[in-house]
Structure 1
Amino acid sequence: MGRKKIHVYHALFTSLPVNEAATRAAVENRLEEVKRFRQIGLVRQEALITPGYEPRFHGATNVISKPTERLAIRNADKEAELIRKSELLDKALEGLSLDQREVIERSYLDTKGEFDFISCGEMGISDRTYRRIKASAIRILAAAMGLEVYEVQEEDRSTKHEVG
């Protein structure tokens, strides 16, 4: 990654009040969600067929329940959402450098589950460099996927009340 590109990302993240820990957690959750979807697919919810034996007293609301319809819609929507998230992650990964992409894939998307220090040795870089590359890749992924969590700054609440 060129120096100019690094300065642009650095300026972006230092000028905005981004909560680094919450942003990192959001990116890690998205990576874990996409990893699970790619490994096993969508775990669909099924309708319960066991009736409840407690009496239900309700008034004449003329409202009917369609649990199977709701579940079918939820399953279809959830699968479409996970496919969209997976495609967005692929596009975001294309914007990373080769080292950053390899670090993210080894840390989060591989099925091997290697520790970071093992990946450092296999890549031939130090632990500090590995963590630095990983942190910058997570920042870029957060910006690319729209997962930044901004800090809420409280405004000065001391207002003057004028009597008139």
Structure 2
Amino acid sequence: MKIKTISLIIVIFSIISCKKDKEYPKYVELQSGGGEYSLYIKNGTFEFLKTKLISYDQILTAPFSEGKYEISGDELTLKSDKGKKYTFKIGNEAELIPAKMDSLKDLKGLFPIQILHNNKMPKEMGRLDSLGRKNALWLYFNEKGKVINQRLYKNGELLKDHYKSNIVIK
């Protein structure tokens, strides 16, 4: 009886202590809801950009941080080449929620607008509204780049799965 109890405790402890890293796309393009920030993750490295509206017909986008990233549990940490550190919680659908930010106060969250397969072919892409919710048509691709599903969203709510549109991807 004691051996079974000890074995059960060891198994439970092993399961609890093995904190599994959350899978996150190797290649993803994310944006903030208002489009003020963009983040590109490329197989172990990142590039963080800020977009400024200069005038009604002029937009300036400039990188302000780049470096390497790490994933631990449900956290993604960006470590810039200049010593800055940005920590995000990984939310549903690869959303990044700011946890600890060096020099960024107004960032509410980053949402993927394009995720690529490991072979760098598109996996999913679409548009977001100003609050970072999926909006309009989202396309989903297989690893060969063929559209396998189209979903229509409005304000983050799925209106129609397997939506048929006239869009042709070449």
TM (normalized to structure 1)?
0.23
Q: Give the greater-gyration-radius structure (CA).
A: 1
Normalized per residue, the structure richer in strand is 2
